[in-house]
Amino acid sequence: MVLDHEDLDLMNDDNFVDKKKLSAPIKSTADKFQLVPEFLKVRGLVKQHLDSFNYFINVGIKKIARANSRITSTLDPSIYLWSFKDVYVGEPSILNVGTAEVINPHMCRLADMTYAAPIYVNIEYVHGIHGKTTISAKDKVVIGRMPIMLRSCRCVLHGKDEEELARLGECPLDPGGYFVIKGTEKVLLIQEQLSKNRIIIDSDKKGNINASVTSSSETTKSKTVIQMEKEKIYLYLHQFVKKIPIIIVLKAMGMESDQEIVQMVGRDPRFSASLLPSMEASIECISEGVNTRQQALDYLEAKLVGSTSFCDATREIKTLLKKRLDYQPMVVKRSSYGPPEKDGRALYILRELFLAHVPVRDDNYRQKCFYVGVMLRRMIEAMLNKDSMDDKDYVGNKRLELSGQLISLLFEDLFKTMTTEAIKKVDAILQKPNRASRFDFSQCLTGEKNHNISFGLERTLSTGNFDIKRFRMHRKGMTQVLTRLSFIGSLGSITKISPQFEKSRKVSGPRSLQPSQWGMLCPCDTPEGESCGLVKNLALMTHVTTDQEEGPLVAMCFKLGVTDLEVLSAEELHTPDSFLVIFNGLILGKHRRPQYFANSLRRLRRAGKIGEFVSVFINEKQHCVYVASDGGRVCRPLVIVENGESRVKQHHMKELKDGVRTFDDFIREGLIEYLDVNEENNALIALYESEAMKDVTHIEIEPFTILGVVAGLIPYPHHNQSPRNTYQCAMGKQAMGNIAYNQAIKPDGLFALPIGVGYDKLGAGQNATVAVMSNTGYDIEDAIVMNKASLDRGFERCIVKKTVVATCQKYGNDTVDRILRPERTGPDAEKMQILDDDGIAAPGEIIRPNDVYINKQIPVDTRDNMTSPPSDTQYRPAREYFKGPEGETQVVERVALCSHKNGNLCIKYNIRHTRRPELGDKFSSRHGQKGVCGTIVQQEDFPFSERGICPDLIMNPHGFPSRMTVGKMMELLGSKAGVSSGRFHYGSAFGEESGHADTVENIRHHPCEASLFLLWEGVVILRSQWRAIANIRLYGANILPETETHGHGQNACAREWTACDDDKTAN
């Protein structure tokens, strides 16, 4: 590559840099970690879901309607039936007696409704009779209902402050990003798949080299595979019955010269030699009459699925004659790939389905031919050098599909199905010769029976099964119920990434930790078992991009000196002094100064002239410059380094601390920028400012941001054995903690809440005084010994809540279930003591097993009679009895009455009871070490210190060596030091060097007597030598806990244990 003086200036060459200044020590910017909580304020952990859904609602849904805007009749294609002028989504509402009432998510949770909004279209349509037609317009035609994501731009919660959210029954800390489907909170998991419109070079089991492209445009989606078999190159496309020599395909697109084909691939003799077998394969087809473009098209026409070639027909005729059957003429079946055209269906497939994302204008296939040439060149390079193959597990070759992209695919399929069914109905009506009244075509889009869009969206989000035959998409388990065991568990569900890889396959490649995942995906948060390494979670500061408008960026590329592909000859396509410019998978042209071009785009990005998520990547091996603005790319913010110094200075951080500056201001002023995985290959990133030397281009905001939201809450995770952090990520999501501010009124099925004061808004777990010592034989195998007096005082006690639902139904004969006043005398009077005068259990009453909580009666006859029901309808008792453990009393905390969509009355009871720890309950620390409660001992028999301090529980020290949880030891020491000094102790990951996490050396300076106490045994008064006693955080019994968020948005005071349920414990 040849560089001119302008390139050298932009690259900060050694001739223009003061080397002494670069090698001098750099003073670190204090409090730089404060950028992390500021980032979370602006972007949040679910911003990518909201951005994706907002893009679909505001832009994507209109593009789908525009691509299918003009609908014509099959009976008379000269006229159109209707055209969609605009499509938009209204406010969430529901029809009540013909009037639209605005609804909110809390109402939908109570009434088991779907939180959705109507989809409106403005149409122009043809109507008339007896050949006289007129064109009319109709606005706000409802074609279905769209489920609305909470906190999105169409949600009633969007932009509300804390007071307004509390009035609507919502928690201000709830980030949104999920749906309410039939009263259940559903989250659409992030889907991982290979990049669209990108060339992927790999090999199959036989060693054959493949070049595959999954094309996706607004109208078409297809997959193209070019494979090399025995040094010959063929095209594989679903529309052809056999493999097609690639040379014939190029000739069919107008490139008839073999010399031009060779020049298009490359002038190097190695490329021409590698293409020679493919040329010979095409020469063999000349005997079949394939020499010109028309002959190549005829050859492809005969290979179409559903077509029968002349040779095949002759062979079948001979078979019939041999069997002495009567001769029947062969009927050539019509292919289903597009309408028959004057040039044939083969040309239609080449134009619309073969490399569908590459456009064809005015029958000019030159751009597609050049694209095939790039594919052939990369295949030959991979054949000559195996290192040139692409890694499918490389994060830069993958895209993450968010809620917006997935719902867009589903809506597009349902929208096309709706128009197809409407055309069938219109054609059936138009065929009637004696239509007396004027027919309104828009009626075919309305009505309950035609709302397949509402039903399809609701069913798919409810079941999680995406079955889109149009795009050959069959996926299961794409949605799941939002985890509400703890607040951190719900965040972990929203940031989870679900793969398309078959989990039962025992392949190590996709499961391995990729270096390209650094800073993008959490290295710790992955489940155990067959999903290990496949299911991942986003890192703390990762952002997933959404689609951006391509037109202005393409124009900017041409202004920066890109030579248009249309003016290039095949010989000029690949030259050593220029690089190809590829934008979102399309070849724009070539540029002679790639470094100048890339740096110019980066300067424009930092100045805010182009999108902040636009990526520019120079690939030296492929001689290409890749520019990307498509959606699904993972990127993260980094501090820009200029001349060996960070652009973020101390005065910037002071302005941030004073509230004068926000995180977006850092982006706008070019102090911080987003880089995706591909562009990181052109960057040199330092962890700390002290490492910012000559060639460094960026600095990490904070090293602990490589972890996810769950793993980042582990104290000192970098001092633990790796599996322990993975175990804790699984158990931390099951933390017994506060789930939301509105947890008292949430109608969830079952959840447990700790008893105690809250910390840091929505924390989990409980502080415990722990003695690390051997005590009796009940503490083996990580079991713990608990203090009975501590349990009596409320230690690790929790409230278990569950929801009980009763319904009063309506029947077809207009009869309904009824609720009667309770019986105050009689055999069942004692069981109805908790009922109020309306026959429903009163809030605050103590409910016991077999108590009646609703005195209901149902009609004896519920048959749907044609005549009106008699006035003396007979009823029979149908009381509902509470089912619970014998001997356990519970409390009716809250009763909610609501009406279902079908008119049935629904009564929801929130019932709670208090539970204390028992033998066999599992507890866990914040380091993945879990153990059961081995025994509960009286405080008189517990060891105590000289000061009279008695621990809440005892842990066996033999749990440290095999688990290698050094971080837990540091947590014990730090928590004791924090209690002794009266301050929080910080244990953030990788925080010692940057100064915002306490080191072991700092702990020594606190008056904690080296964190050791002399303990006295209580059973026999003996002095135990140097037993350690410290404070640690204990997660409440029966359900695994979650840890607290404090300080800089990651780890907080290092002191935790956990408790877990027997059924929900990770190993």
DSSP 978-1035: HHHHTS--B--TTHHHHTSS--HHHHHTSSSGGGEEEEE-SSS--EEEEEEEEEEEEP
Q: Could you give the CA distance from residue 259 to residue 262 in angstroms, rounded to a whole number?
A: 5
Instruction: Work out the angle between the directed axes of helices 366-384 and 258-265 (0-180°, nearest 10).
Output: 60
Domain boundaries, the chain: 5-42+546-704, 47-190+402-471, 200-398, 486-544, 711-797+918-1064, 800-915
State the distance between the two ends of the chain, measured CA to CA, in whole angstroms. 54
Confidence of residue 888 (pLDDT cuts 50, 70, 90): confident
CATH architecture of 200-398: Alpha-Beta Complex (3.90)
Q: Could you give the CA distance from residue 410 to residue 458 in angstroms, rounded to a whole number?
A: 11
Tokens 């987003």 appear where? Answer: 674
DSSP 902-950: TS-EEEEEEEEEEE---TT-EEEETTS-EEEEEEEE-GGGS-EETT---
pLDDT of residue 1029: 53
Confidence of residue 77 (pLDDT cuts 50, 70, 90): low
pLDDT of residue 28: 58
CA dihedral 456, 457, 463, 466 (to 10 degrees): 80
| The two structure tokens encoding residue 269 | 């003799």
pLDDT of residue 199: 94
Per the model's pLDDT, the better-predicted residue between 1052 and 20 turns out to be 20
pLDDT of residue 810: 87
Once rounded to an integer, what is the mean pLDDT over residues 392-400?
93
Give me the percent of the chain exceeding a pLDDT of 90. 37
Confidence of residue 37 (pLDDT cuts 50, 70, 90): confident
Encode pLDDT of 423-441 as tens digits. 887 777 777 766 555 566 6
Encode pLDDT of 1007-1022 as tens digits. 554 445 566 655 443 3
List 360's β-bridge partners, or say none.
none
Which of 2.60.40.420, 3.30.160.20, 2.40.50.100, 2.40.270.10 would CATH assign to domain 711-797+918-1064?
2.40.270.10
Q: Could you give the CA distance from residue 727 to residue 1066 in angstroms, rounded to a whole number?
A: 6
499 has a pLDDT exceeding 50: yes
Q: How many CB atoms lie within 10 A of CB 300?
A: 27
| The two structure tokens encoding residue 1024 | 């135990």
Tokens 């609703």 appear where? Answer: 854
317 has a pLDDT exceeding 70: no
Angle at 287 between CA 283 and CA 291, to 5 degrees: 60
Q: What is the DSSP pairing of strand 685-686 with strand 698-699? A: parallel
DSSP code at position 276: H
5 has a pLDDT exceeding 50: no
Weakest-pLDDT range from 322-336, 488-502, 666-680, 741-755: 322-336
Once rounded to an integer, what is the mean pLDDT over residues 245-260?
88
| 800-915 has the same fold as 5-42+546-704 | no
Class of domain 800-915: mainly beta
Angle at 927 between CA 921 and CA 930, to 5 degrees: 20
Reported pTM: 0.85
Give me the percent of the chain exceeding a pLDDT of 70. 82
The amino acid that residue 189 corresponds to is L
Contact 407, 457 (CB under 8 A): yes
pLDDT of residue 751: 65
Confidence of residue 792 (pLDDT cuts 50, 70, 90): very high
Encode pLDDT of 907-950 as tens digits. 999 999 888 999 999 898 889 888 899 999 999 888 888 888 89
Once rounded to an integer, what is the mean pLDDT over residues 194-223?
89
Encode pLDDT of 431-471 as tens digits. 776 655 556 666 677 655 546 889 999 999 999 998 887 77
Q: What is the largest CA-CA distance in the chain?
A: 109
pLDDT of residue 29: 64
324 burial class (0-12, 13-18, 19+ CB within 10 angstroms)?
Answer: exposed
Encode pLDDT of 721-743 as tens digits. 999 999 999 888 887 888 888 88
Q: Which residues contact 867 (CB under 8 A, 6 or more apart)?
A: none
Encode pLDDT of 329-386 as tens digits. 333 333 333 444 445 788 889 998 999 999 998 888 999 999 999 999 999 999 988 8
Q: Could you give the CA distance from residue 95 to residue 585 in angstroms, rounded to a whole number?
A: 46
Which of 3.10.310.30, 3.90.1100.10, 3.50.50.60, 3.40.50.920 would CATH assign to domain 47-190+402-471?
3.90.1100.10
CA dihedral 766, 770, 774, 776 (to 10 degrees): -60
| The two structure tokens encoding residue 404 | 């917006």
Mean per-residue pLDDT over the chain, rounded: 81
Weakest-pLDDT range from 98-107, 166-175, 337-346, 566-575: 337-346
Once rounded to an integer, what is the mean pLDDT over residues 804-825?
88
Encode pLDDT of 818-855 as tens digits. 999 998 887 888 889 999 999 999 999 999 999 999 99
Contact 1014, 1022 (CB under 8 A): no
Q: What is the DSSP pairing of strand 645-646 with strand 685-686? A: unpaired
pLDDT of residue 519: 93
Is it true that domain 5-42+546-704 has CATH number 3.80.10.10? no
pLDDT of residue 673: 96
pLDDT of residue 319: 45
Contacts of 236-244 with C-beta under 8 Å, sequence gap 24+, read: 237/349, 237/353, 237/354, 238/305, 239/304, 239/305, 239/335, 239/337, 239/349, 239/353, 240/300, 240/303, 240/304, 240/305, 241/303, 241/304, 241/305, 242/303, 244/300, 244/303
pLDDT of residue 243: 86
pLDDT of residue 1038: 35
